[in-house]
Amino acid sequence: MSRIGKSPITLPSGVAVTVGEDNLITLKGPKGELTQHVNRDLKVEVENGILTVERPTDEKEHRAMHGLYRSLINNMVIGVSEGFKKELELVGVGYRVTNNGQLLELSLGFTHNIYLELPKEVKVETKMERNKNPLIILESADKQLLGQVCAKIRSFRKPEPYKGKGVKFVGEQLRRKSGKTAG
């Protein structure tokens, strides 16, 4: 048995689960509502506030899907109850960020500013303080969408290894290289 797949998911108070036809799972909680299609071969059961995912056989495909769908459902439970939060930091002279609603404006040293329209499921907040790097704080109930938005913002200017300039996660360790003068 898959160690991840066989562990049950305890549902916190305030989270409602419905397993519809064609294995469509809908979770509602204080932070929002998420849905996920689960493969027809897997069986999802909810009893006394505990959700379990069971597989029919020990075939390789079923074993792979067992852990995958259990993790996806667990991320949905955490998302609708607590939510997910990621912080990005802009390291570099003159790098700026502002937001106007869901429109993010990034100034990353290019000739023109970059404008990015964020999905309505993602809440954005920007912080610009004197003598500190600008911050982008993103919050969402959907972990997958949040990661995708963070990857898109980071792709505009990835951190480079010599000076460490670019868009990076707060607390991320960068692998630094010495320049040509170090010998």
pLDDT in tens, 84-127: 999 999 999 999 999 999 999 999 999 999 999 999 999 999 99
Torsion sign, CA atoms 169, 12, 32, 73: positive
The mean predicted confidence, pLDDT, of the chain is: 92
Quick: pLDDT tens for 6-15.
899 999 999 9
Compute the distance between CA of residue 31 and CA of residue 85 in angstroms, rounded to an integer: 12
